[in-house]
A and B are shown apart, each in its own frame.
Chain A
Amino acid sequence: MNTRTREGAPARPATAGFLLDLGRCVGCGACVLGCRIENRLPAAISWRRIVPLNLARFAGGPTYFLSLACHHCDDPPCVRGCPSGALRKRADGVVMLEADLCLGCRYCEMACPFGAPAYDADAGVMTKCHLCHERLDEGRLPACVEACPTGALQLGGQGAAEPPERRSMPAWDAPGFVDPGSAQPALRLVAPSGEIRGARFVALLAVLAEAEAEGKEPGRG
């Protein structure tokens, strides 16, 4: 459980972002729902999504869920490309979109490899996760973090204090995560722990390293 909301204001990291514990996320979708309710998102738009890995339980591979939203990257491609300056990165690391300046050109949608900006066809502008910055300013957690029943999703960008048992890694080190533009997403992940899950995660890393080295091409694609 996220006890930090009960005990007081969350310790705000120097560069805001999310932390996801792959061993705790069960893919329930509460974070997606929490975000949708908090931000009153229309039916066609979702700022957070869950990408399951190895849902078919292929032998030797771990099964886990990547709960993904905007990663509030250190060098966000969306901000770099935005022609109107509607997108900007705040000093605290939050990547903000100012709807009044947005042209709806969808260039950020094309630039972001993580599918974070979503086009609102009715309003004619882009929308995206703003890390519930108003809640943060009030000392509360983002809605998705607060909604997470297992404590898998946390506020934990760079500079965040982490319990020793939760040593996290940058998201791009995890199988299933890509950072093609070297955007340096602020998302950090905690690898699955335990004898079986942890071992499978490490085994998958080895398989992927071998496939990368061989330039392995799966049969279909």
Chain B
Amino acid sequence: MDRRGRRSGKGFHEAPLVLFTALAVAGAGIAGSRILLAVAGQGGWAPGRWEAGAVATFLVVGMVASTFHLGRPLRAGLALRGAGRSPLTTEVLALGAAVATAALAALLPTGSALGEVAGALLPWLSLLVLLTLGSVYRLPGQVGWGGAAAFRPLALGLVFGMVAQGAAGSWIAAGPLLFVFLLVTLADALLLVLHGRRLDRVRRRAEPSHPAVFARRRLFLAIRLVLVDLAGTAAFLLGWASAAVVLLAAGVLLDRVLFYALAARWTNEGEVGWIERLLAETGAR
């Protein structure tokens, strides 16, 4: 415990959530980016069987990983009781629906009506997964996660998904789709910068969950920006697709680590600290 009698929060108990959200962002990003490809006329809406299988695997492994964060993993099913009320339940429902459709699209034989419906639904459900991932952490007290930060899983997932689709030969970096890709990458970079600026603004009164990481946030966020939006994108545009996927995967993982490590709350302790610094400066004048 710290001097105020609260748990000191040592360690990084969010590790299973990092793994879960990284896999969910990557998996849902692969299927969700199909929408952009289809709109631009490069391929159909429905992902192929290998693709649906990969998405299902990513999401299932992610969901299993997330249960390791629970104090009582065997009670995980109770999370459905909050339907219509808790954002966490909405996220679980969206994930469950995406996993089910991905599994159907991957396992049912080609030409099966149910398999085709599942395939057509999967990109949209994946998009929903990316949106709900962000909405879960729109908590009033968690100032580090508010604002633009809630949309970062969506942008990051689409960037990763488009690069992965490109590496698999689903599209070529040219024409209108290249413009869309650059736009999505720019949006991801912009959201990251906005998140960083938000953290700068709130630091005076917020209490970071991991102060050591928070103090070096600009360096870490810059590394994340380079990995995904500069080096990863450049590697992809230069035709080094495999290298781009590796850089993007590292970027997604770092992004998720930073998301949790840079959590900061407005607390009474943070407010008192701000007032005391203010008093010290006022008194010193």
A-side residues, CB < 8 A to B, are 32, 43-46, 48-54, 56, 58-61, 66, 68, 77, 80-86, 101-107, 110-115, 118-121, 123-126, 175-178, 180-183, 204, 207-208, 211, 216-221
Is A125 within 8 A of B71, CB to CB? yes
Q: List 29 A-B contacts (CB under 8 A).
A: A45-B7, A49-B5, A50-B5, A51-B272, A53-B272, A56-B280, A58-B280, A60-B282, A61-B283, A83-B82, A83-B86, A83-B88, A83-B89, A84-B78, A103-B71, A103-B75, A103-B79, A105-B69, A110-B137, A110-B263, A118-B6, A120-B71, A178-B270, A181-B140, A204-B275, A207-B279, A208-B275, A221-B205, A221-B277
Q: Which residues does chain B contribute within 8 Å of A219, judged by CB atoms?
A: 277, 281
Nearest CB to that of B285 among chain A residues?
A59
Is B216 in the interface zone, CB < 8 Å from A? no
Q: Which residues does chain B contribute within 8 Å of A77, judged by CB atoms?
A: 139-141
Instruction: Tell me the residues in window 45-82 of chain B with beta carbons closer than 8 Å to chain A beta carbons.
Output: 69-72, 75-76, 78-82
> Beta-carbon contacts of B242-285 to A below 8 Å, as 1s and 0s?
00000000000000000000010111111111111111111100
Partner pick for A114 among B89, B143, B268, CB 8 A cutoff: B268
In the A-B complex, the 3 residue pairs with the smallest Cβ-Cβ separation, listed nearest first, are: A104-B71, A181-B140, A124-B71
In this complex, which of B76, B270, B272, B283 has the most chain A Cβ atoms within 10 angstroms of its Cβ? B272
How many residue pairs bridge A and B at CB < 8 Å?
183
Bound Cα distance from A208 to B82, whole angstroms:
40
Bound Cα distance from A44 to B10, whole angstroms:
12
Is A220 within 8 A of B277, CB to CB? yes
Q: Which residues does chain B contribute within 8 Å of A126, judged by CB atoms?
A: 71
Given A61-B275, A110-B263: A105 and B6 interface contact (C-beta under 8 Å): no
Is B178 in the interface zone, CB < 8 Å from A? no
Shortest distance between the CB of A206 and any CB in chain B (Å): 11
Is B278 within 8 A of A208, CB to CB? yes
